[in-house]
Amino acid sequence: MESLVANNIRQRPLRALVSIAGVALGVCLVMLFTGLSRGMSNDLQRRSSNLRAEIIFTRPGGMELTTSTANLSTKYADELLKVEGVAQAVPIIRYVFQGGRGFGFEQVEGVDWDAFAAMNEMRLVDGRAPSAVDEIVIDETKARNGNTGVGGSLALFGGKPYRIVGVYAPESGARVKMSLAAMQDALEAPGKCSYILVKTRDGIDPLAVVRRIESQPSTQGNKIQLTRDIITNIEKTIPYLGVFLRALVGLSAVVSGLVVMLAMYTTITERTREIGMLKALGASRGYIVSVIEREAFVISLLGLVAGFAVSFVAGYLINRAYGLLFEYGWRWALVAAAIGVGGGVLGALYPAVRAANLDPVNALAHE
């Protein structure tokens, strides 16, 4: 192809590569973070959807994804059992901490295993239930990803080692569970829990039970939610996630824009005399802008393709190394594409207009 645009890009392969990498970086940021947030939230949903309990009883503010409070008295479980229609009430402590290997959240739950397993139809595929304060069970996914199992150990709460005594299925909530007593001990919260799972008797409308619990004086001042409502709300429970993602998208656009702007700016500085010659040949401002914009567009497009490719490879590798799940969606891919190309084209606008406004005589005299 005998074109000014393609040949200019070929002329400076390193600079083209750097600009392509810049655009790709922006695209990657958007893809990886949105992919991670989707992956995490879908993963959590899958895990919570295995809960058989219809009702979750918490203190207000106690059921956030990132909180690790144990501020609810386990005594409420006894009160709840007295309510008509309640079959089981199992207190749980959930503890969330920064992932052991860099980023992401990890969770541990403290449960009375037998009651929890009976309520949610969990079974141990290997080993036995946790009882001693340093014993845990993990789910199959955790065992597979961590390449471990019964007899292995895990460091929790900042390095303290725990022995794996069992592997359970299906996955549900935190992938690591210990006994409620062990957790209360670790958190120095005797007699407390984060929330209580409530299972209703067969054939009874859970909503009716919720109302009954609400009208019970002994359980006043707490929050009663249906499990299915919490599941659909999980994306909203990560505070400011939406804001964070939007800020990220904005930043990515700025990165792409700036990189392409800088590249095109050096390009026009370097090719000032050529721009002067274009003017001498009678090329209009629009033509000169279009030459530079087309070059920026090609670079942005290549950056976009590279960004997608790197996102998929990186997502796969991170998943293998850290077990984090990436799920890419079309909507965010479109946003990333718009940002890569839009940022590039917008960033090139300033150099392009500047080139179009160069004084032809000075440009031709440029060294």
Partner 1 sequence: MKTILQAENVEKVYRVGSVDVAALRGVSLDLEEGEFLAIMGPSGCGKSTLLHLLGGLLTPSGGRIVLDGEDMTAASDAKRTDIRRRKIGFVFQRFNLFPTLTAEGNLRLAERIHAGGAGGAGGNNSERRREVLSLLKLEDKMHHKPLELSGGEQQRVALARAIVNRPAIILADEPTGNLDSENSAIVLNMFQEMNYRFNQTIIMITHNPEAAAMCRRIVQMRDGQIVAPNTGLQV
Residues binding partner 1 (CB under 8 A): 2-4, 7-8, 10-11, 273-274, 276-287, 290, 294, 360-361, 364
Hey, what are 234's tokens? 């999980």
* Cα gap 271→160, rounded to integer Å: 63
* Cα gap 342→253, rounded to integer Å: 8
* Residue 349 Cβ vs partner 1, minimum distance, rounded to whole Å: 16
In terms of DSSP bridges, do strands 135-139 and 160-169 run parallel, antiparallel, or are they unpaired? parallel
With vertex at residue 141, the alpha carbon angle to CA 29 and CA 47, rounded to the nearest 5 degrees, is 75
Nearest CA to 356 out of 267, 276, 273 is that of 276
Q: Which is nearer to partner 1, 158 or 282 (CB)?
A: 282
CB atoms within 10 A of CB 214: 13
With beta carbons less than 8 A apart as the criterion, state whether 70 and 111 touch. Answer: no
Give per-residue burial for 253-275: e unless 16+ CB within 10 Å, then b.
bebbbebbbbbbbebbeebbebb
* Residue 11 Cβ vs partner 1, minimum distance, rounded to whole Å: 5
Angle between helices 241-270 and 272-280 (to 10 degrees): 70
Q: Which is nearer to partner 1, 8 or 179 (CB)?
A: 8
* Residue 268 Cβ vs partner 1, minimum distance, rounded to whole Å: 14
* Residue 272 Cβ vs partner 1, minimum distance, rounded to whole Å: 11
Q: Which is nearer to partner 1, 3 or 98 (CB)?
A: 3
Nearest CA to 43 out of 136, 131, 175 is that of 175
* Cα gap 225→222, rounded to integer Å: 10
Q: Which is nearer to partner 1, 170 or 360 (CB)?
A: 360
Q: Which is nearer to partner 1, 35 or 276 (CB)?
A: 276
Which residues are CB-contacts of 261 (< 8 A; sequence separation ≥ 6)?
Answer: 347, 348, 350, 351
* Residue 142 Cβ vs partner 1, minimum distance, rounded to whole Å: 57
* Residue 317 Cβ vs partner 1, minimum distance, rounded to whole Å: 38
To which H or E segment does residue 164 belong? strand 160-169
* Residue 294 Cβ vs partner 1, minimum distance, rounded to whole Å: 8
Q: Which is nearer to partner 1, 79 or 274 (CB)?
A: 274
Q: Which is nearer to partner 1, 7 or 49 (CB)?
A: 7
